[in-house]
Amino acid sequence: MPIARTRIPLILIALLALALPAGADAAQTRKKSIWGPAEVNGVSQFPIYKDLGVGIWQDRINWSDVAPRRPANPRDPSDPAYRWPAELGPAIAEARRFGIRTALVLSQAPRWANGHRDTRFVPRRPKDFADFAYAASARYPSVRLWLIWSEPTRRENYRPLISERRDRPLTRKMKRAPRTYARILDASYASLKSRSRRNLVIGGNTFTTGHISARNWIRNLRLPNGKPPRLDLYGHNPFSARRPLLNRPPLGHGFADFSDLDLLAKWVDRWLGRPRGKRGIKLFLSELFWPTDQPNHEFNFWVTRRTAASWLTDALRITRRWPRIYTLGWYSLYDDPPNEDGDEVLRGLLTDRGRKKPAYWAYKRG
């Protein structure tokens, strides 16, 4: 999903972080992950995450921002060309202090790497992205979870990409996008594993629908030698306008929402688990939320706060009980602040002013 950096009323949230309710924190587990700020007005938000039982905090690094010019030594994080975000290192350390791991999405390409085009265009050489991944791992050695590109099945995030014709196999030109991505993913896997065997590489990173469906994307993730790319976990963002229950009728068209995760797992087994013998690849669900209260600029639906809480309870129950799901990520901690069009996305466990919504308690209990 597009990342909207919110402008949250700072004093109210700072007070919230300092005045957490009495009572035990939820048990922390890697099954629960979240997107949200590391601090607000100088006050850490990790006490809130701990109260919720969060085991993984997620953030992103845009290659185009970190390396606006080509590094002379691209695997060396101290190369003068790199401009690492000043706030990220302290945030990772703060997360560790509260017993929370960090997962980082690596995305976007600088102009020097992709032929001087928009950052959504992939690098000409997969090795350049892989070198950047190595440098990021060296810069943040305590991070073990690495997502390779965000929702590359959507033209808003990844190019070149030619939209599929629904319910038909991809043409040769349409296959270019998943096959280019497969090379980037496999090169990044080799690079990150050479830095540390403990690194876990999350690939695929599909969206419920997409300009290329999840099914067609998975089926066509192939290297030039015909084999699937290497990965440890399969990433998917299973947004849905229906209650999350497995074994429901599929959405169809190769799409996969939360209720289709059992079907998605079969696709992953069929096309990515072979011939490497890696059946049962776990699913890393990076992003999920249900917008509440009002129409919004991202989705064509919204639900009540109680419905969002109820559906989140169901999603977390399935996540907790089904070993195939590695984690479920909620996006995000806070609602977007009001905008002049009145179509802000109310996606948070907390309002933009820091009030707990029913989903806060559902997430904590989950």
Q: How many percent of the chain have pLDDT more than 90?
A: 91
pLDDT band at 279 (very low <50, low <70, confident <90, very high): confident
Q: How many percent of the chain have pLDDT more than 70?
A: 92
Helical spans, DSSP H, in 19-139: 46-52, 63-66, 88-97, 126-139
Question: What's phi and psi for 247, nearest 5 deg?
Answer: 65, 25
Q: Does 8 fall in a domain?
A: no
pLDDT band at 4 (very low <50, low <70, confident <90, very high): very low
pLDDT tens column, 167-225: 999 999 999 999 999 999 999 999 999 999 999 999 999 999 999 999 999 999 999 99
- pTM value surpassing 0.75: yes
pLDDT band at 23 (very low <50, low <70, confident <90, very high): low
Q: Does 38 fall in a domain?
A: yes
Q: Does 18 fall in a domain?
A: no
Q: Does 5 fall in a domain?
A: no
Q: Which domain holds residue 229?
A: 30-111+119-365
Q: What is the DSSP letter of 116?
A: S
Task: Say which CATH number the domain at 36 has.
Answer: 3.20.20.80
Q: Does 84 fall in a domain?
A: yes
DSSP conformation letters of 170-231: PPTTTTHHHHHHHHHHHHHHHHHHHH-TT-EEEEEEEESS-SS-HHHHHHT---TTSPPPP-
Q: How far apart are CA 145 and CA 266, in angstroms?
A: 23
Q: How far apart are CA 242 and CA 239, in angstroms?
A: 9
98 half-sphere exposure, CB direction, 13 A CA radius? 27
Average pLDDT estimate for 148-175: 97
